[in-house]
Amino acid sequence: MSKYELTESQTRYQPGSNDQVLANTLGITDPADMDEAELALLEKLYQHVLLDQPLPDVLSSPLIKSWHRQWLGAIYPWAGEERSVNLSKGDFHFAAASQIPNLLHKLDRDYLSQLTPCTELTDETLIKAIAEVHVEFILIHPFREGNGRIARLIADVMASQAGYGTLDYSPWDENKADYFAAIQAGLDMNYKPMMHWVEQAFNTQ
C-alpha cells in the first residue's frame, strides 16, 4: 500500500457506521464491537510484550510503532504508521501531523534514550520518568487511533523494568478532566501534575 493510500485511509470512516468507526479491514460498523475487538487484541499485545519475552531494554519510537502495528494491524491498514491527519480534543490541538517525525526524534533522544530502561531508580525518579514520557507521548499523539492505550503500555513496561507490575489507571479514568489538565501542563514542561497521577496509579495497584 502506497503512502498516499495510507494517508487517505486515515481520513475515511467505515460505510454504515454513521461516521462512528474508522474504515477497517474487518468491516466493523458498531463502536461497541470495535472496542471489543481492539481490547481483545490489546490483551494479546500485553501478553507478548510483558510475558512472552524478556522486557525490552531502551524504548524507542520504532519499537512503539511495532507494538501499535502488532496490536491493530489486523484492523487498520495504517497501524504502526504516523498519523497524517491533525487531531484535537475539544479546543486542545495535539501536535500537527507534519511535526510528528521531528517530535518522535526528540522523544527518542531526550526522553526514551535517557530514561529507559528503568532499572535501579528510586520511586520518585521512576514516577518522574514515567510522567515525562507519558506527557510527551500524549502531546505528540503519533497515531490515528490508540495513543492513550499505547501510552499506558509504555508506562507499564517502564514500571515492569523497575520491578513493579502493571499500573492501575482507574484514578485517571475517574478524574479525566484533571488527568487531561496534567497532560496540558506538560506544554510548559511542568510534569508535577502528571507525577501525581502516576503516583496514584502505583498506590492503587
Q: Is residue 122 part of a domain?
A: yes
Check: CB of residue 159 under 8 Å from CB of residue 109: no
Q: CA 203 to CA 169: how far, in whole Å? A: 10
203 phi, psi to nearest 5 deg: -65, -25
Confidence of residue 6 (pLDDT cuts 50, 70, 90): very low
Q: Is residue 4 part of a domain?
A: no
Mean pLDDT confidence for 127-148: 98
Q: Is residue 8 part of a domain?
A: no
Q: Is residue 9 part of a domain?
A: no
C-alpha cell at 140: 505528540
Tell me the pTM.
0.93
pLDDT digits (tens, 9 = 90+) for 53-85: 999 999 999 999 999 999 999 999 999 999 999
Q: Is residue 56 part of a domain?
A: yes
pLDDT digits (tens, 9 = 90+) for 32-45: 999 999 999 999 99
Residues 6+ apart with CB under 8 A from 13: 19, 20, 21, 22, 23
Residue with cell 480534543: 89
10 Å Cβ neighbour count for 43? 11
- Classify residue 112 by its DSSP letter: I
> How many separate domains does the chain show?
1
Q: CA 130 to CA 195: how far, in whole Å? A: 8
Q: What range does the domain containing 87 cover?
A: 30-203
Q: Is residue 16 part of a domain?
A: no
10 Å Cβ neighbour count for 33? 13
Mean pLDDT confidence for 4-18: 74
CATH number of the domain that residue 192 is part of: 1.10.3290.10
Q: Is residue 80 part of a domain?
A: yes
Q: CA 61 to CA 29: how far, in whole Å? A: 31
Check: CB of residue 198 under 8 Å from CB of residue 134: yes
Q: CA 150 to CA 66: how far, in whole Å? A: 11
C-alpha cell at 205: 495497584
pLDDT digits (tens, 9 = 90+) for 148-205: 999 999 999 999 999 999 999 999 999 999 999 999 999 999 999 999 999 999 986 6
C-alpha cell at 144: 490515528
* pLDDT at residue number 205: 62
* pLDDT at residue number 10: 82
